[in-house]
Amino acid sequence: MSASLEKGIKALKKEVDSTVGAFFSSCVNCGMCAEACLFYTESPCPARTPINKTEPLRRIWKQEYTLIGRIGKMLGLAKPVDHDFLEHWEKLVYDSCSLCGRCSMVCPVGIDITALIRKTREGLAAAGHAPEGLVGATKRAVTIGSPMGVKLPALMAQIKHVEKDTGLKIPMDQQGAEYMLLLSSMEIMNFPEFIEAIAKIFDKAGVSWTISSEAFEATNSGLQIGVSDIAAELVQRVVDAAEKLKVKTVISPECGHAYMAIRWDGPNLIGKAFNFKVRHILEVLDEFSKDGRLKITGKETQKLTYHDPCQISRRGGVIDQPRNLINLFAEDFVEMPEAGKMNWCCGAGGGVSSNERADELRLKVFQRKKDQLDVIKPDVIISACSNCRIHLEDGLEEYNMEIPLMSLTETLAEHLEE
């Protein structure tokens, strides 16, 4: 990943397409996107206005791809895109944006600002202006196979525990299985209960599944940092494993960006459609439930609410499934204000949580989630992304709130009919 300004500019140019042209041509500087972004509303600095975060890409588009901009450039009127400028934008593009997608839902002229910020990251990363934490995670993902440095032996150790606790066999590298499960390092290290839950549910449902020892990592830090060739390499590993094991469906676990990476960006990154399906675990479980393969018994009497992980709900399209599933066991399910596709981000997505420099801001903007929670005062929060879950726990602690977190998949496993 050797970086240079030239590479940065080249990367930005590569990102310009007709959507970029239409979006930038339409912005009327109305400022409405600011009010849609938790990094602005909770820490009101005008520079954090979403559309301002895309300025590096806008300058390149204008100077290189519009008649008037090119004339301006010839006359020496173009605003510079240099190291100082990009360095200044690094904090806006990485620390103050979780790629949550909320601004894109609000802009009155219809600009997908989030997509533009994502594209802007490509340029910044190539020019060497990406946060250290993310660079480190990305390097580990390439060399070790996981952003947190989780190697196969660590996974195998967790699996051994799970097998002992459940008495079930975790099928590794099983050819011809219907489903291949991916995991996030976070789940392997912090929430092995997730693997246990899957083992129990799939056993009861009577479907075959497997984990590949060659590609079990679901997260894609190449995507968060914005380096497409690395992101593509990480996707390719999964594709190779899925093809080798001839599975029908690859399951993305309870992790938002993993789902975005493999489900929506994956085929485009490697430039080839997949010959298997990709589903989020909640989509799979909802299908099981509809087919009568998921039998749930007993009710949770506490007041439950659901936090929508941005990449799964608003950016991913998995909105109804978690609610269907929660209603299988919830007696008192309440939605927070603006739940669903307009829900607010927890503040830690898009690589923000891997970027230590952003720690303070990330906890500050959690105020937005706190305000939502204060309205409904739930007993328990359910989420479907382990990154959200860890940050929600952090945020709740910071604001002295005692609300336990639950994983949806794990809760379902606890309520399986014997």
Partner 1 sequence: MSEIEFLNWVRGPAFEIATVIFIAGVVIRILEIFLLGRKRNLAEAKGSEMSSGLRTIVSRSIPDKNTFKRSSFKIVSGYIFHLGLLVTIFFFAPHILLFKEVLGFSWPSLPTAIVDAFAAVSIITLIAVLIHRLRDNVLKFLSSTEDYLVWLLTILPLITGYIAFHRIGMSAPTLLAIHILSVELLLVAFPFTKLMHTFTLPIARWYNGAISGYRGVQS
**Per-residue contact flags (x/-) with partner 1 for residues 285 to 324, judged by CB under 8 A:** ----------------------------xxxxx-x-----
Stretch that binds partner 1, among 42-50, 80-88, 366-374, 409-417 (CB under 8 A): 42-50
Of the candidates 22, 156, 157, 376, which one interacts with partner 1 according to CB under 8 A? 22
* Phi, psi of 384, deg, nearest 5: -130, 35
Of the candidates 10, 293, 323, 341, which one interacts with partner 1 according to CB under 8 A? 341
Residue 280, strand partner residues? 252
Stretch that binds ligand SF4, among 63-71, 107-115, 182-190, 242-250 (CB under 6 A): 107-115
Residue 77, both tokens = 């009127």
Of the candidates 75, 84, 206, 273, which one interacts with partner 1 according to CB under 8 A? 273
Sheet with 300-306: list strands edge to edge: 330-333, 300-306, 380-383, 405-407
Is position 45 an interface residue for ligand SF4 (rule: CB under 6 A)?
no
Report, in Å, the least distance between residue 214 CB and ligand SF4: 33
Instruction: Please report how many Cα atoms fall inside a 13 Å half-sphere around the Cα of residue 255, on the Cβ side.
Output: 27
Residue closer to ligand SF4, measured from CB, 102 or 129: 102
Is position 284 an interface residue for partner 1 (rule: CB under 8 A)?
no
**Per-residue contact flags (x/-) with ligand SF4 for residues 321 to 350, judged by CB under 6 A:** ------------------------x-----
| 179 SS3 class | strand
Burial (CB < 10 A; 0-12, 13-18, 19+), residue 308, is buried
CA–CA gap between residue 361 and residue 349 (Å, rounded) = 13
Residue 204, both tokens = 């009861």
Report, in Å, the least distance between residue 128 CB and partner 1: 26
CA–CA gap between residue 309 and residue 385 (Å, rounded) = 6
* Widest pairwise Cα distance in the chain: 76
Report how far apart, in Å, the C-alpha atoms of 333 and of each of 134, 305, 325, 330, 379 are.
36, 6, 11, 6, 10
CA–CA gap between residue 278 and residue 259 (Å, rounded) = 9
By a kind-dependent CB cut-off of 5 to 8 A, residue 35 interacts, out of ligand SF4, partner 1, none, with partner 1
Report, in Å, the least distance between residue 171 CB and ligand SF4: 38
Amino acid (1-letter code) at residue 180: M
**For the residues of 221-281, what is the DSSP string, one character each?**
HHHHHT-HHHHHHHHHHHHHHHHHHT-SEEEE-S-HHHHIIIIIIHHHHHTS--SSEEEEH
Is position 229 an interface residue for partner 1 (rule: CB under 8 A)?
no
Of the candidates 36, 218, 284, 392, which one interacts with ligand SF4 according to CB under 6 A? 36
According to CB under 6 A, which residues from 50 to 69 bind ligand SF4? Answer: 50-51, 53
By a kind-dependent CB cut-off of 5 to 8 A, residue 103 interacts, out of partner 1, ligand SF4, none, with ligand SF4
Binding residues for partner 1, rule: CB under 8 A, are: 16-23, 25-32, 34-36, 40, 44, 46-47, 49, 51-52, 65-68, 104-112, 115, 263-268, 271-274, 277-278, 313-317, 319, 337-338, 341-342
User: What residues line the site for ligand SF4 (CB under 6 A)?
Assistant: 27-33, 36-37, 39, 50-51, 53, 97-103, 107, 109, 111, 113-114, 117, 345
